[in-house]
Structure 1
Amino acid sequence: MKHQLSQEQRLTWRMTQRLSQAIEMLAYNGQDLIRFLQDQAEVNPLIELSVSSALPKGGQAGASQTVQSSKEKSFRDHLQEQLIESRVPSSLRHVVQYGVDSLNDHGYLETTIEEWSEVCAASLAETEEALSIIQSLHPAGVGARTLQECIAIQLKREEHPMYMTQLVYDHINWVAEQDIESIQDEYNITAEEAQRAIETIQTCHPRPGIQYSSVQEDYIVPDAEVFKKNGEWVVKLSPWNAPKIVVDEDMYALSHHHQEASAYLEEKYQHAKWLQMAIEQRKQNMKAIMEEIVKRQVPFFEGGAHQKQSLRMREVAEAIGVHVSTISRAVRHKYVQSPKGIIPLKDFFQQGLKTRNGQETSTEAIKHLLKETIHTENKDKPYSDQKLSQLFYDQFGIYISRRTVAKYREALYIPSSTKRRKRG
């Protein structure tokens, strides 16, 4: 009975370990996957991996990816150490961990609260609490979703006056323009206070994550390629994103003649065969996800950034029959080569804003409309952000708040209406 229980425990542990490895493999980019398989081959004599056919040629790109991976580890290790000390509630640990895994190299969050909540099967309140935990970590600004939020977190940490935070959210372009007069008038402060606000905001770090690395990655190795062939858009996984491992069947067969080697190699054989299956499953998932993304983003590939469609991870997950967490892991830290350049897979997912007829318009399309609307305005009477908000609803059926108009306008480096007015 005791022996049977021990066998069951070992089987359960092995299944848990393999499930964990399968999840990790999906999150790896192509080169991290190769490195993982190389590690597996070192401890499993039955695994043969053809690295030369899998890794990109030239060495430089591969080296840059190695630098990037070590940087991510260093940054995340720093956060993990703090989380251990902060005693995160057990019910939130997986939610917080997912949030940390969703940070980019600069320390910004690359998922939405809604998707994060859905992937972790957590409530929105729990997800918001997890975000607050991450945003309380060092360096200040980590876990932000926008530049404004990143700076606001740093200002709050140092207990600066509230008007500085309001300035960052409402008129960050005034800081760049050193517009002391406008800041004075808007917040009813002195010129000295306005100048101090500008100087304080400019000392905030816009990319807190890179403080933990002295190296910048110079190369990005795409994980897939999208191109048009015979009038159809085609997805081709990069060779290093679809590696093949060979199991040495001859060595395994010979082991049956040696009792001691047989038990050892039996376990190695089962693991090697499982790895083959897991790699194939990963390949199928990656291909299906990419093909579904491309199918839904044809207007972007054939038009431009303003044609990018609103798309949620949940939609792709439902279309190909997988959990949304599979999509989230599969697109993390991966890039695609396309006629539009090298694009992060995550950039294809945008929530957008609803129109009057119930459809959604992507943020890229809205920014394009905003740019065109401002370009054709009367330069003697340029539109205010409030007027632009009203125009979008009246002309395009899109409800967009004044604050969101200001945020998109500043992201396009378009000055305020006061600055755009033609001087007589």
Structure 2
Amino acid sequence: MQFTQRTAQSTSLVMSGHMQQAIALLQLSNTDIQSYIEKEAEENPFIDVAAPARALPSLPQSGGAIEGDDPASRMADHPLSLYGHVAAQFDSLFADPHRRVIADRFLEGIDANGWLCDPLEDIAADCGLGLPEAEEMLRIIQTVEPAGLFARSLAECLGLQAEERGMMTPLFRAILANLPRLAAADLTGLARVCGCTMDELRAALKELRSLNPKPGADFDLGELNEREPDLIVTRGASGWQVELNRSTLPAVQVDEARAAEITRDPATRDYVGERLGVARWLRRAVEHRNQTTLAVGAEIVRRQSAFLEHGPSHIAPMTLADVAAAVGVHESTVSRVTTGILIVTPQGTLGLKRFFSTALPGKAGGTEGGASAAAVRHRIQRLVAAEDPARPLNDADIASAISEGGPTLARRTVAKYRDMLNIPSSFQRKRRARLDAV
């Protein structure tokens, strides 16, 4: 063994701070970009944030003209959210400001269904209450309308509604205590543990089905607080067109005149040069991000024109590599750009990631002529929705039905996609249908 020294020249790409920031900008949505620019403008006197160029248009519903979005009219027509509905009742229910603040902590703990998802122990600790005091406070809060809000379990949610309607009989209470047997469709065992006849049980179950297990789901979920889409698809004279949603994306402007005026002072020349360089880089980085996002979005729309025309069952197979090769960027760039980006289409507002789907084998065994996995999953949903509840389709039936007019599909593939869609098995669906028929 011996040690030797050699000198050689090589080139390598080193990730500078600006390059890392530029890559990070590719992953941001329009709303996040706006927040980032505004934050930079607070620290850099040479960055001006221009106002949005235009409002977001709404897609025509029946061939009508596209009209500008009017936030004031949307606010006037917007239904009251669950949070606002409950908060209005708290205003009259709790006159004491301290108790009103505690009630707000309970309100922060409910989910979209109206259930209390935060543990009561955590709420009590946050509010400085003992557990008995928190229990008493919860009992008062659970008197709000509609009944069933702030429940901690399905049995409690249905029980609150039964109490409010005067339906809480000993039989009804026994049913709520044995909901797992009801979920398993074990009606004989449920009648036995409740000490009732099958006719009495059927009558009680009919009343049970009139209750709402998700009382908060009937309220608006706060649509105004959801961020606007980043890309907009419209049909033009030459076909489908894509543009950036400028209503949420401010332009970056550099105050060159102010910089030139301040640069005359030698004491501030270094600071001005450094800040001005950052401002110019940010302008270029945002423009590059917008151009890349627009190019990727346009290529996706070009490949998915059948989806725009006919819906989810016509999503074409498409991979990140396909789009990257067409746009002329790296596959990782497409992945970053499509992360978190929303696009509004005639078929609804979707994330760009939803359009990427692998191709399933066609009749000849290859991917040529095969459908995308996303389109097949949509067909599975439609087949299950249209099936006879008393005779649901099993996985083999679904695979055979899809394979007749589309790609070759194995039973295990149907089972995998069914699990992804949270669709129960044919046995579970049949059991549920039998339970609903009682």
Deviation at 1:321, TM superposition (A): 0.9
Count of residue pairs brought into register by the alignment = 270
1:26 and 1:329 in contact (8 A); partners too: yes
Q: How does 1:253-272 map to 2 (within 5 A)?
A: 253-272=260-279
Check if 1:347 corresponds to 2:359: no
> Which residue number in structure 1 is paired with residue 37 of structure 2?
37
Partner SS, residue 235 of structure 2: strand
Select which of 184, 187, 192 maps to 1:179.
Answer: 184
Q: Relative to 1, partners in 2 of residues 1:399 and 1:240: Cα closer, same or farther, differing over 3 Å?
A: same
Select which of 250, 271, 274 maps to 2:281.
Answer: 274
Deviation at 1:50, TM superposition (A): 1.8
Cα offsets for 1:29-80 (capped at 9, x unmatched): 111111111111122211111246589885999xxxxxxxxxxxxxxxxxxx
1:48 and 1:245 in contact (8 A); partners too: yes
Q: Relative to 1, partners in 2 of residues 1:223 and 1:273: Cα closer, same or farther, differing over 3 Å?
A: same
Separation (CA, whole Å) in 2 of partners of 1:262 and 1:59:
47
2:52 and 2:248 in contact (8 A); partners too: no
Q: How does 1:130-149 map to 2 (within 5 A)?
A: none
Amino acid corresponding to residue 31 of structure 2 in structure 1 = Q
Amino acid corresponding to residue 384 of structure 1 in structure 2 = N
List runs of 5+ in structure 1 lacking aligned partners: 1-11, 62-174, 182-214
1:26 and 1:330 in contact (8 A); partners too: yes
Stretch moving more, 346-355 or 410-419? 410-419
Separation (CA, whole Å) in 2 of partners of 1:252 and 1:176:
75
Separation (CA, whole Å) in 2 of partners of 1:380 and 1:245:
61
Separation (CA, whole Å) in 1 of partners of 2:417 and 2:181:
14
Deviation at 1:266, TM superposition (A): 1.1
1:241 and 1:283 in contact (8 A); partners too: no
Amino acid corresponding to residue 178 of structure 1 in structure 2 = A
Separation (CA, whole Å) in 1 of partners of 2:424 and 2:238:
38
Amino acid corresponding to residue 259 of structure 1 in structure 2 = P
Cα offsets for 1:181-208 (capped at 9, x unmatched): 7xxxxxxxxxxxxxxxxxxxxxxxxxxx
Cα offsets for 1:208-262 (capped at 9, x unmatched): xxxxxxx999423111110101251011101155532221222222234211211
Deviation at 1:374, TM superposition (A): 5.9
Partner SS, residue 353 of structure 1: coil
Amino acid corresponding to residue 372 of structure 2 in structure 1 = S
Deviation at 1:294, TM superposition (A): 0.2
Q: Relative to 1, partners in 2 of residues 1:392 and 1:336: Cα closer, same or farther, differing over 3 Å?
A: closer
Q: Relative to 1, partners in 2 of residues 1:54 and 1:227: Cα closer, same or farther, differing over 3 Å?
A: closer
> Which residue number in structure 1 is paired with residue 320 of structure 2?
313
Separation (CA, whole Å) in 2 of partners of 1:303 and 1:399:
22
Amino acid corresponding to residue 293 of structure 1 in structure 2 = I
Q: How does 1:42-57 map to 2 (within 5 A)?
A: 42-51=42-51, 53=53
> Which residue number in structure 2 is paired with residue 223 of structure 1?
230
Separation (CA, whole Å) in 1 of partners of 2:416 and 2:387:
16
Cα offsets for 1:327-352 (capped at 9, x unmatched): 11112122111211211121111224
Check if 1:404 corresponds to 2:414: yes
> Which residue number in structure 1 is paired with residue 139 of structure 2?
none
Check if 1:294 corresponds to 2:301: yes
Separation (CA, whole Å) in 2 of partners of 1:222 and 1:242:
11
Deviation at 1:364, TM superposition (A): 3.3
Separation (CA, whole Å) in 2 of partners of 1:376 and 1:245:
52
Amino acid corresponding to residue 365 of structure 1 in structure 2 = A
Q: Relative to 1, partners in 2 of residues 1:361 and 1:42: Cα closer, same or farther, differing over 3 Å?
A: same
Structure 1 vs Structure 2 CA RMSD:
4.1
Q: How does 1:95-134 map to 2 (within 5 A)?
A: none
Check if 1:304 corresponds to 2:311: yes
Amino acid corresponding to residue 404 of structure 1 in structure 2 = V
> Which residue number in structure 1 is paired with residue 26 of structure 2?
26
Separation (CA, whole Å) in 2 of partners of 1:339 and 1:361:
21
2:52 and 2:247 in contact (8 A); partners too: no
Separation (CA, whole Å) in 2 of partners of 1:176 and 1:303:
43
> Which residue number in structure 1 is paired with residue 112 of structure 2?
none
Partner SS, residue 344 of structure 2: strand
Query: Rg larger in 1 or in 2?
Result: 2
